[in-house]
Structure 1
């Protein structure tokens, strides 16, 4: 019997080409896809509120309005805090120009005393500029603020999804007979996303509160802004801690010198290492379902596609891609093991 199936190498190449075309297409419409995915994730996050209201016999309008208002109030609070803090940061940064020049002079004096040439020092200074680090923080917060500031689009998307949520839940339940694998994979995606957001948010708020308290005690300017940044970077896998640490550490260096910077680094490490390395994994468990390598790759890919918002949404986006491309296909169980790094087979609908 002749095998007329396409060569495996051709299938791999076509799949890779399709993925590249899709990712570049998404990148071209990132201004729409980013808020759309963020709205979807937020609606999924508050869906337990809707189900709880439904179990209590609340009318449909209440099941739609209450979760919608919760999300809108959270967004408005984030926009308010970021707007005020960014304005304060833009106002105080120019005042640290003399301190930065003094740090450069002290570094040159120290280097000369220890036999380092001025040319080598100037090259090192050009490659390491604290102002660039603070600019990166401003770019991250400004990009997120730009997305959140498009409240009209966000509110319209959230309202539409909130209105459709009760109907979509019934449609998915009725579709279990025809496409059980797809419905189960989408349910698993929603469950894992909610658990990831809940656990990350709770521990992110706790870490951010401790960070704000530590920064306030050390006298670092704008502790609330850096606490919000620490909370946001909680959702960025692998490098989120570093991104949340560098801006306040650099500002502490300019404001109080090397000693204050070292104290900020020590406080952040003590707080975040305890929570994120020892406590958070025990509560989060295998909710993400992605190996360390796949988590890093997802961060790189989605940041390239959607910018800073893609870094924040990297895990939910990867979970959605896994649900649609792998978990919905029973024959792709081997691919699920590669993605998760867990060789033990599991049912598709297991969280």
Structure 2
């Protein structure tokens, strides 16, 4: 009896894994539709507290949503203007960058020759060519902007979501099976994600402003652009701030000198240490209850599944999956594996 039972369990596991592969393949194939919807959903989650705050001050929901959406459109226009001006400035100083890059590579070649290391300046110049770097940056921006190809549709989706929020509890109570447990899980997930995204947005904004002002004081070109990049990449956990600091260091090494490059590297390290390792953990506390390993693996998984937007939203998406798993008997054990391994406080255990 035990052998057929084990065979049946093995078949069930294989069937579930096959279903999971099919679902993931379908999500990846439909990423062009899913990614804008996810982006609109999380934008609505971030903006809903602002709408609620304006409504508490006496504004009607329609006026509150209009003010918030207008502010978002203005911010997007500023970002586009910053990127456009940076691209124009880069194209104007490109010959200077090319000449300085070749001079720096000759110095590197002489230093390497002292250690009996042969380096081809032509190959290094082709790999570090500003045109190649800009082409790579264009590809990344194109992938990210693919989720925003129709900005009007994205904004309209956010607007309708913000209007639909007030009807959501009624619909869930009448549509879900066992609504108390399901609504409690959704409320917990929504509260955690809202708290995380709001604080992460504020900390990322402070980080971007700090990078912009610091680079401007160090007389590093494109300071505002690198501040915007630092703000966006700060949403990517673990590796985002590191990626944001590499291009300004290389630029300072090419356009300025080794001393300025070292200062820029020290600046990004200090900002990441202060905001990422000290300020953010204290403000967020335990965050969303995910282990560090799970956060890093979720970054890889969601980036593979949904592209750059998936990397930006990897932590909220994993947290939502974890909280929803906790409401199901079969997923509760897997939710424990995704957690940070810390026991619940004694006060919560007594209440339960």
Q: TM-score, normalised by structure 1?
A: 0.85
Q: Tell me which residue corresponds to 2:63.
A: 62
Q: What is the CA-CA distance between 1:69 and the residue it aligns to?
A: 3.7
> Contact (CA 8 Å) 1:82, 1:141: kept in 2 or not?
no
Structure 1 unmatched ranges of 5 or more: none
Q: Measured at CA, do residues 223 and 118 of structure 1 come closer, stay the same or move farther in structure 2, by a change above 3 Å?
A: closer
Please say if residues 281 and 287 of structure 2, whose CA atoms lie closer than 8 Å, have aligned partners that are also in contact. no
Q: Which moved more, 1:243-252 or 1:63-72?
A: 63-72
For 1:131-210, list aligned pairs within 5 A.
131=130, 135-172=135-172, 178-210=178-210
Count of paired positions: 346
CA contact 2:35–2:306 (8 Å) conserved in 1 = yes
Q: In 2, distance between residues paired with 1:214 and 1:74? A: 22
Residue 331 of structure 2: aligned partner: 332
- In 2 relative to 1, CA 59–207 (structure 1 residues): closer, same or farther, beyond 3 Å? closer
The 1-side partners of 2:135 and 2:288 are apart by 31
Q: CA RMSD in A?
A: 3.2
1:46 counterpart SS class: helix
> How do 1:252-291 and structure 2 match up within 5 A?
252-291=252-291
Structure 2 unaligned regions, length at least 5: none
The 3-state SS of whatever aligns with 1:162 is helix
Matched, 1:226 2:226: yes
Could you tell me how far apart the structure 2 residues matched to 1:57 and 1:173 are? 29
Query: Using CA pairs below 8 Å that are at least 6 residues apart, which structure has the higher relative contact order?
Result: 1
Relative to 1, partners in 2 of residues 1:262 and 1:281: Cα closer, same or farther, differing over 3 Å?
same
Could you tell me how far 1:264 is from its partner in structure 2?
0.8
Partner of 2:341: 342
8 Å contact 2:105–2:125 — kept in the other structure?
no
User: What's the counterpart of residue 217 of structure 2?
Assistant: 217
1:293-324 CA-to-partner distances (Å, cap 9, x unmatched) read 11111111111122111111111222232244
Secondary structure in 1 aligned to 2:197? helix
Aligned to 1:107: 108
Paired with 1:284 and 1:93, the residues of 2 have a C-alpha distance of: 43
**Deviation larger for 134-143 or 221-230:** 134-143
Determine if contact 2:51/2:61 at 8 Å carries over to the other structure.
no
* CA-to-aligned-CA distance 1:108-154 (integer Å, 9 cap, x gap): 111123322347x888x489737466654444344334434521221
Distance 1:180 1:22, change over 3 A: same
Task: Tell me which residue corresponds to 1:22.
Answer: 23
Q: Please say if residues 326 and 335 of structure 2, whose CA atoms lie closer than 8 Å, have aligned partners that are also in contact.
A: yes
Q: 2:101–2:125: 8 Å Cα contact kept in structure 1?
A: no
SS at match of 2:195: helix
- Partners in 1 of 2:33 and 2:88 — Cα distance? 26
> Equivalents in 2 of 1:280, 1:72: separation in Å?
28
Distance 1:168 1:75, change over 3 A: farther
Q: TM-score, normalised by structure 2?
A: 0.85
Q: What pairs with 1:28-107 in structure 2 (closer than 5 Å)?
A: 28-55=29-56, 58-62=59-63, 64-93=65-94, 95-107=96-108
1:327, 1:69 → 2: CA distance?
38
Distance 2:277 2:92 in 1: 36
Residue 22 (structure 1) shift: 2.0
Q: Do 1:79 and 1:148's aligned partners in 2 also have CA atoms closer than 8 Å?
A: no
